[in-house]
Chains A and B, each alone.
Chain A
Amino acid sequence: MSENEKGVDFFFEVIKKRRSCRHFDSKPVPKEILNKIVYSAHRAPTGGNIPYRFVILVDDPTQLKLLKMVSQGFQGEANAALVICTNVRIAEEGGKIADDSSHIDAGAAAENAVLAAYAMGLGASFVKSYSEAAVRGVLNIPDYCRTEIIVSLGFPSRNEPPPIKKGKAGKITYANFYGNEKK
Chain B
Amino acid sequence: MTYKDSEKTDRLEENLFELALFLLTSARGCLDEPRIYGSFRLMDALSKLCDVYSKSNRLESDNFLAQIKEQVDRDKYKNIQSQEEFIKSMDDLLVKFTQELKRRYGTSSNTT
Contacts and interface: CB of A to CB of B under 8 A. Distances in A.
Residue from A22, A70, A73 having most chain B Cβ neighbours under 10 A? A73
A164 B81 contact: yes
Interface residues of B, number: 17
B6 interface: no
B60 interface: no
A157 interface: no
A22 B28 CA distance: 22
B25 interface: yes
Interface in A63-88: 69-73
Given A70-B21, A72-B26, A131-B29, A163 B4 contact: no
Contacts of B77: 22
Nearest to A160: B77
A162 to B, nearest CB: 10
B82 interface: yes
Given A129-B29, A131-B28, A131-B29, A72 B41 contact: yes
A62 B22 CA distance: 16
A72 B41 CA distance: 7
Nearest to B78: A164
B96 to A, nearest CB: 24
Contact of A129 (B21, B24, B37, B82): B37
B18 A72 contact: no
B41 to A, nearest CB: 6
Interface residues of A, number: 14
A70 B22 CA distance: 7
A134 B29 CA distance: 12
A22 B25 CA distance: 19
B109 to A, nearest CB: 41
Contacts of B44: 72
A130 B28 CA distance: 9
A163 B80 contact: yes
Contacts of B41: 72
Contacts of A73: 29
B7 interface: no
Given A130-B29, A134-B25, 13 more contacts: A69-B22, A69-B25, A70-B25, A72-B25, A72-B26, A72-B29, A73-B29, A129-B29, A130-B25, A134-B21, A163-B80, A164-B82, A166-B81
20 contacts: A62-B4, A69-B21, A69-B25, A70-B21, A70-B25, A71-B25, A72-B25, A72-B26, A72-B29, A72-B41, A72-B44, A73-B29, A129-B33, A130-B25, A131-B25, A131-B28, A134-B21, A163-B80, A164-B82, A166-B81
